[in-house]
């Protein structure tokens, strides 16, 4: 309990007037009841009781008030549900502050835990594929950034030709969108 109080105090001193705070359900509830500086906005989903709300809500508040600083407090379980919204947040060049509260609490029971593999080589992949399929198997296949199947390469270049024609980027000096 003392560690939680120390964290609350640290967060409280970090909050500035005019900040937008987004708090998801679960462990983030520790922030309810903070005395906020003037002009702060507090967004929470207590009425719905559903996890995963705050990351998408962050995208909404950033879009509505991009000039303000936005602080997201989200648990590890909630974050898993809507983490893909970060791609839009980054694409729009927003700069929120995200506090991921990872207490390891959103976990599957040990007897249903997924088998997890990182396959950087063909041998790693063969090892992963040899695992018994008695539970979920998650294989992260590490590839070169520009590695892609020939069909994707060919399709990309044909698509660029269709979209842009002879003036497109695929016809610039020495440039091809993907090697054929």
The DSSP call for residue 43 is E
Residues 81-97 as b/e (b if ≥16 CB within 10 A, e otherwise) read bbeebbeebeeeebebe
pLDDT in tens, 120-135: 888 888 888 888 877 7
pLDDT value for 71: 93
d(CA 44, CA 75): 13
Query: Residue 44 forms beta bridges with which residues?
Result: 23
CATH number of the 2-101 domain: 3.40.50.970
Nearest to 47 by CA among 35, 36, 32, 62: 32
pLDDT in tens, 55-93: 999 999 999 999 999 999 888 888 888 889 999 999 999
Query: For 50, phi and psi rounded to 5 degrees?
Result: -110, 135
Contact predicate 134/111, CB 8 Å: no
This prediction's pTM: 0.60
d(CA 84, CA 126): 29
Residue with tokens 């950033």: 62
d(CA 177, CA 158): 10
pLDDT value for 171: 66
Query: Residue 137 forms beta bridges with which residues?
Result: 115
Q: Where are the domains of the chain?
A: 2-101, 110-141, 148-180
Contact predicate 8/27, CB 8 Å: no
Mean pLDDT rounded to a whole number for the chain: 78
Residue with tokens 């992949």: 125
């Amino acid at each position: 309990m003392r560690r939680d109080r120390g964290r609350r105090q640290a967060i409280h001193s970090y909050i500035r007037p005019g900040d937008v705070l987004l708090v998801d359900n679960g462990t983030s509830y520790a922030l309810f009841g903070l005395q906020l500086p003037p002009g702060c906005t507090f967004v929470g989903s207590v009425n719905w009781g559903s996890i995963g709300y705050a990351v998408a809500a962050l995208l909404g508040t950033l879009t509505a008030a991009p000039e303000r600083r936005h602080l997201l407090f989200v648990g590890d379980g909630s974050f898993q549900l809507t983490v893909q919204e970060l791609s839009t947040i980054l694409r729009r060049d927003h700069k929120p502050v995200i506090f991921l509260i990872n207490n390891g609490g959103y976990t599957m029971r040990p007897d249903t835990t997924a088998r997890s593999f990182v396959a950087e080589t063909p041998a790693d992949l063969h090892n992963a594929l040899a695992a018994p399929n008695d539970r979920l198997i998650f294989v992260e296949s590490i590839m070169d950034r520009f590695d892609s199947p020939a069909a994707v390469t060919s399709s990309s270049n044909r698509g660029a030709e269709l979209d842009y024609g002879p003036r497109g980027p695929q016809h610039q000096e020495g440039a091809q969108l993907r090697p054929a």
